[in-house]
Copies of this chain bind each other. A is one copy, B any other.
Amino acid sequence: MQGGLTIGDLAERTGLAVSAIRFYETHGIVQPVRNAGGHRRYGRPDIRRLSFAMIAQKLGFSLSEIAAEMADLPAHQAPSKADWTRVSERMRDGINDRIAQLERLRDRLDGCIGCGCLSLDTCALYNPDDTLAGEGSGPRKLIRD
């Protein structure tokens, strides 16, 4: 074992699959050192880094966004209380934005219920500035006109 947690230990402690932890490594979320045999060895702060990433994912952030957020933090070091506060405030703003977007959409839909026009030219639902699914890989072609 010689200093550090194995990937299996980390998987057990975080509930993540071993494969997922390796995958997160490709995104720079954790950066384990290697022992003589080439096996990954993690520090205790990595548990917290992964916990952090898991929560951020639940909040709707992509792995790339999470990695960008974590890049500010020193590798091999757990996010401090101040770090967590700063990042979680940014997260809350993101959630609020999404709520507001959905509310605007719902209000527009309310205006349309019972209308049934579905006209490409006049329907208010056709040209919303904000599209729900900026996430994912939908049709990139925007509806023009």
Given that A106-B99, A139-B17, A144-B15 are known contacts, is A132 also in contact with B59, CB under 8 Å in the complex? Answer: yes
A118 and B51 form a contact (CB under 8 A): yes
Contacts of A102 in B (CB 8 A): 95, 98-99, 102
B92 and A106 form a contact (CB under 8 A): yes
Stretch from A28-36, A65-73, A79-87 that touches the partner: A79-87
B116 and A81 form a contact (CB under 8 A): yes
Q: Closest CB of chain B to A123's CB: distance in Å? A: 8
Number of copies: 2
A59 and B95 form a contact (CB under 8 A): no
Proximity string of chain A (42-63) to chain B, C-beta cutoff 8 Å, 1 when within and 0 when not: 0000001001101101111000
Contacts of A57 in B (CB 8 A): 133, 138
B113 and A85 form a contact (CB under 8 A): yes
Contacts of A98 in B (CB 8 A): 102
Question: Which A108-136 residues have C-beta < 8 A from chain B?
Answer: 109-110, 112-116, 118, 120, 123, 125-126, 128, 131-133, 135-136
Contacts of A141 in B (CB 8 A): 15-17, 20
Closest chain B residue to A51, Cβ basis: B118
Proximity string of chain A (6-49) to chain B, C-beta cutoff 8 Å, 1 when within and 0 when not: 00000001111100100000000000000000000000000010
Closest chain B residue to A143, Cβ basis: B15
B118 and A55 form a contact (CB under 8 A): yes
